[in-house]
Amino acid sequence: MIRFLAHRLMRAGFVLLGVSVLAFILLDLAPGEYFQEMRLNPQIGRETVAALRVEYGLDQPLPLRYLRWVRSVSRGELGYSFAYNRPVWPLLETRIGNTLILTVTALVCSWLIAIPLGVWMASRAGRWEDRVLGASNTFLLATPDVLVALGLLAFALRVGWLPTGGMHAPVSNGDMKDLVLHLILPVLALVAATLPILVRHVRSAMLEVLYAPFIAAARGHGIPRLRLLFGHALPAAANPLLSLFGISVGMLLGVSLLVEVVMGWPGVGPLLLQAILERDPHIVVAAALFSTLFLMAGSVLADTLLYIADPRIRVDS
């Protein structure tokens, strides 16, 4: 088990290194830089802009800028923000926590809905209930995530039951009830974006198992339906679903960055969008690394669950 985890963590480390290098290269190839607009301001001299570029290391070649960033990572700073004139990590620390609150909540809700719904659809395959839910899944899958989020916002504004932005009310003092109320809309948007894919995979995995000989034998022994579905068929169909779990983490994170911008959730998404517009490179790199780290954490967790659930993987590793 320790060897298995060490191998996966080592692979994750190489992926993070590759993502950081690729992010620096792509940002260097992108047109423009943070001080580009200053050159257009007649009140700011060229000497001032040149001095600022030297101060922030933008006059150096890309390898030296990357090594300078690596040294800041070793100090726990994750680079330096040009726009905020401070290290990146204090800017991201709280926002990462907010994004994790939103994403993990949506992840748990999505799977808690997808598993029983997908199992039930598989058990009713070909009947009208399965067809109606399948058509609903297709409709949600074809609807853009932005449109879903905007539709939820419009509904909330019309009925006035739920807050339509932010994470806390101005006078809430951060109590849990207020946080839950602010979570409902963005979590609904994330669940609506990811649930159709999860339900389809759960249904497909269950259909492959429900017609297996051992299920027919268990059914012949008079095992109750719910026990047959969740105690025998679902564990046999678990391997592809565990693999899907790791993918769903990254999928949810990608959608959550968009939902945060639309719904005003104070997470990484709005900060990343602002950094891209302002050409603030170290925030962009740090946000990309956080997204990769979260995806790799989901992948390692899924691999670990597969390692525990399937003896064949333990033999192969």
| Structural domains in the chain plus CATH codes | 2-88 (no CATH), 91-316 (1.10.3720.10)
Given this model, what pLDDT does residue 173 score?
A: 56
Question: How many C-beta neighbours within 10 Å does residue 260 have?
Answer: 28
| 261, 55 contact by CB (below 8 A) | no
Q: What are phi and psi of 152, to 5 degrees?
A: -65, -40
Regions of the chain where pLDDT drops below 50: 315, 317
Given this model, what pLDDT does residue 300 score?
A: 79
C-alpha 201: how far from its chain's center?
Answer: 19
Instruction: Indicate the helix (H) or strand (E) that contains 86.
Output: strand 86-87
Number of continuous H segments (helices) and E segments (strands) in the chain: 15, 2
Burial of 122 (0-12, 13-18, 19+ CB in 10 A): buried
Alpha-carbon torsion (185, 189, 190, 196), positive or negative: positive
Given this model, what pLDDT does residue 144 score?
A: 82
Q: What are phi and psi of 313, to 5 degrees?
A: -70, -40
User: For residues 192 and 169, what is the distance between their CA atoms, to the nearest angstrom?
Assistant: 25
Given this model, what pLDDT does residue 113 score?
A: 92
Given this model, what pLDDT does residue 313 score?
A: 59
Helix, strand or coil for residue 58?
coil
User: For residues 103 and 191, what is the distance between their CA atoms, to the nearest angstrom?
Assistant: 10
Question: In the structure encoding, which two tokens stand for residue 7, read together?
Answer: 């191998």
| 140, 192 contact by CB (below 8 A) | yes
Given this model, what pLDDT does residue 109 score?
A: 92
Residue 198 carries which side chain, given as an amino acid letter? L
| 260, 186 contact by CB (below 8 A) | yes
Angstrom distances, CA of residue 260 to CA of 2, 77, 238: 37, 24, 32
Helix, strand or coil for residue 191?
helix
∠ Cα 277 21 83 (to 5°): 30
Angstrom distances, CA of residue 180 to CA of 105, 114, 154, 187: 10, 21, 19, 10
Largest CA distance in the chain: 86
> Which distant-in-sequence residues (6+ apart) come within 8 Å of 135 by Cβ?
none
User: For residues 62 and 132, what is the distance between their CA atoms, to the nearest angstrom?
Assistant: 55
Given this model, what pLDDT does residue 223 score?
A: 81
Separation of first and last alpha carbons in the chain: 9
pTM of the model: 0.82
